[in-house]
């Protein structure tokens, strides 16, 4: 194992999330510098020299057309994304740093890729795991989460620290808040990793030193009728109003995620940067840089949350992770979402002795009133969902082929075909006009 000097005292983690609106390989432009090279904007915060991130995590939702994702045809798209992203982050690395893929995981359309610098984290990463779970109807994977976990150690004799990245896609629509809360509870109980102690009980996403949660969480702005902005929320006047940061900060108090998190209903122990600093990431008119659709209330659906083991439960809104950058990227126009990126500076690593009595990494602190408990039926639920995914997906895929790219036309063609076949069988059985002579 290389010595400690190859790892900086404070790691820099870059996180990106994007709902690509089922676009497959067409969902990203060829040049990803706006989204995946933001360190150029914040290098002055860190040092006189531009510094590349130590870890880059990229999450996608709605990665490819749903019938293909359900059918299990995600691999080609995720391989394409991996090659594209890796070439881009190395091309735009400020000092020509090289990166390696630590792990990738995809379930239907929810995908996560995590990279590490070759001269640091990638060399030190061990115990790499991936996990997935679905929380759609029947535990299907049209909604759900995927996760990557690994341990980083300076020396083989020390426990090191565990890093866990989770990408989520929760239930859509403003009125389905309760379902989103249930989705998260299901993810906590069923997105499971190996035990972290001598017990045989799987560990949850919270059993880690550092946790990063990202994705299309689908929480909406719930503006009350008493607010002056209520009658404007579905017209262009509202979109114009949120050009102002002070207006966005006012509206942020109606953000469902913030309200529910404050009451302890969801994302317990996680922190977030000032999301109102950037404009709502959803719902944009397709092909438009800066024009919202009037079909939905603009909302911050795409988010990045985090926690580290030195965060205190006494200060739930403060983190020892420094949020250097948290913003959306308006220039991407193929989706009704804008991609979001965050740059996080982790606190100094806690010194660990090679004679440390504990062989386990430090863990997150959670409120005494909250316990993340693995679901003993998690595997059964996950594979029930995957079976349904494949059944529905393959039928849908076949109907889409029958309809020359349209599932609805495929259904119509199938019904017409069955009708024609039934008529022909009936005619054949009756022997036709001559048979009755």
Taking alpha carbons only, the member of 23, 114, 17, 101 closest to residue 60 is 17
* Res 100 pLDDT > 70: yes
SS3 content of the chain, % helix, strand, coil (to 5): 35, 20, 45
Residue 21's pLDDT band (cuts 50, 70, 90): very high
* Res 414 pLDDT > 90: no
The arithmetic mean of pLDDT across residues 351-360, rounded, is 66
The pLDDT assigned to 436 comes to 43
pLDDT digit string, tens, across residues 184-209: 999 999 999 999 987 889 999 999 99
Six-digit token string for 256: 């469902």
d(CA 250, CA 267): 22
- 199, 201, 206, 208 alpha-carbon torsion, rounded to 10°: 40
Instruction: Answer whether 313's CB lies under 8 Å from 361's CB.
Output: no
Class of domain 4-376: alpha beta
Six-digit token string for 380: 């059964």
The pLDDT assigned to 39 comes to 58
The count of residues in the chain is 437
Output phi, psi for 325, to 5 deg: -155, 135
Q: Domain limits of the chain?
A: 4-376, 381-430
Q: Where are the beta strands (DSSP E) in 251-355?
A: 271-272, 302-308, 322-328, 340-345
CB-neighbour burial class of residue 419 (10 A; exposed 0-12, middle 13-18, buried 19+): exposed
* Res 352 pLDDT > 60: yes
* Res 253 pLDDT > 50: yes
* Res 402 pLDDT > 80: no
The pLDDT assigned to 194 comes to 97
pLDDT digit string, tens, across residues 279-302: 999 999 999 999 999 999 999 999
Residue 47's pLDDT band (cuts 50, 70, 90): low
* Res 417 pLDDT > 80: no
Provide the edge-to-edge strand list for the sheet that holds 210-216: 125-134, 144-152, 161-169, 210-216, 302-308, 271-272
d(CA 111, CA 78): 8
What DSSP letter does each residue of 381-410 carry, written as one string?
HHHHHHHHHHHHHHHHHHHHHHTTT-HHHH
The pLDDT assigned to 97 comes to 92
Q: Compare 353 and 78 and report the one with higher pLDDT.
A: 78
Instruction: Answer whether 70's CB lies under 8 Å from 108's CB.
Output: yes
Residue 389's pLDDT band (cuts 50, 70, 90): very high
Instruction: Answer whether 209's CB lies under 8 Å from 364's CB.
Output: yes
Instruction: Answer whether 186's CB lies under 8 Å from 233's CB.
Output: no
Which region among 204-213, 216-225, 392-401 has the lowest average model confidence (pLDDT)?
A: 392-401
* Res 102 pLDDT > 60: yes
Six-digit token string for 149: 């976990």
Neighbours of 313 (CB within 10 A): 14
Q: Compare 352 and 181 and report the one with higher pLDDT.
A: 181
The arithmetic mean of pLDDT across residues 107-127, rounded, is 96
What DSSP letter does each residue of 208-236 carry, written as one string?
SSEEEEEEE----B---TTSTTGGGTTSH
Buried b / exposed e along 396-407 (16+ C-beta atoms within 10 A): bbebbebbeeeb
Q: Is the peptide bond before 283 cis (omega within 30 degrees of 0)?
A: yes
The pLDDT assigned to 223 comes to 96
User: Alpha helix locations (H) across 220-309?
Assistant: 236-241, 245-251, 256-262
d(CA 209, CA 347): 12
Please report the sign of the dihedral spanned by the C-alpha atoms of residue 262, residue 266, residue 269, residue 274: negative
Question: Please, what is the angle between helix 407-430 and helix 378-402, to 10°?
Answer: 70
* Res 418 pLDDT > 60: no
The pLDDT assigned to 188 comes to 98
* Res 215 pLDDT > 50: yes
The pLDDT assigned to 397 comes to 78
d(CA 96, CA 91): 7
Average pLDDT score over the chain: 88
């Amino acid at each position: 194992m290389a010595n400690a000097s190859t790892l900086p005292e404070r790691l820099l983690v870059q996180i990106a999330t994007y709902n690509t609106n089922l676009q497959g390989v067409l969902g990203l432009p060829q040049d990803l510098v706006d989204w995946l090279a933001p360190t150029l904007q914040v290098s002055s915060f860190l040092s006189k020299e531009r510094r590349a991130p130590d870890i880059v995590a990229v999450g996608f939702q709605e990665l490819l057309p749903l019938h293909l994702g359900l059918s299990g045809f995600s691999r080609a798209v995720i391989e394409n994304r991996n090659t594209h992203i890796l070439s881009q982050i190395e091309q735009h690395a400020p000092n020509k740093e090289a990166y390696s893929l630590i792990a990738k995981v995809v379930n239907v359309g929810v995908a996560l890729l995590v990279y590490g610098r070759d001269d640091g984290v990638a060399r030190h990463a061990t115990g790499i795991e991936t996990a997935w779970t679905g929380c759609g109807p029947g535990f299907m994977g049209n909604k759900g989460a995927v996760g990557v976990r690994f341990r980083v150690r300076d020396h083989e004799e020390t426990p090191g620290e565990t890093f866990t990245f989770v990408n989520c896609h929760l239930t859509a629509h403003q009125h389905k808040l309760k379902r989103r809360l249930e989705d998260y509870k299901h993810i906590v109980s069923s997105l499971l990793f190996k035990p972290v102690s001598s017990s045989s009980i799987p560990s949850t996403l919270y059993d880690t030193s550092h946790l990063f949660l990202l994705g299309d969480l689908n929480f909406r702005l719930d503006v009350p009728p008493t607010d002056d902005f209520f009658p404007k929320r579905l017209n262009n006047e509202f979109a114009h109003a949120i050009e102002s940061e002070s207006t966005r900060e006012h509206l942020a108090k109606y953000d469902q995620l913030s309200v529910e998190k404050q009451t302890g209903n969801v994302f317990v122990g996680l922190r977030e940067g000032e999301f109102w600093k950037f404009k709502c990431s959803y719902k944009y008119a397709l092909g438009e840089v800066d024009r919202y659709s009037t079909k939905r209330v603009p909302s911050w659906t795409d988010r990045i949350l985090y926690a580290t083991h030195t965060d205190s439960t006494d200060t739930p809104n403060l983190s020892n992770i420094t949020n250097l950058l948290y913003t959306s990227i308006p220039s991407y126009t193929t989706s009704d979402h804008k991609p979001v990126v965050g740059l996080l500076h982790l606190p100094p690593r806690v010194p660990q002795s090679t004679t440390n009595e504990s062989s386990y990494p430090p863990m997150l602190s959670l409120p005494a009133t909250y316990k993340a408990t693995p679901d003993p039926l998690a595997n059964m639920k996950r594979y029930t969902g995957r079976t349904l995914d494949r059944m529905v997906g393959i039928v849908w895929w076949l109907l889409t082929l029958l309809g020359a790219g349209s599932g609805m036309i495929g259904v119509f063609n199938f019904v017409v075909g069955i009708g024609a076949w039934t008529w022909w069988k009936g005619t054949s059985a009756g022997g036709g006009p001559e048979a009755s002579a």
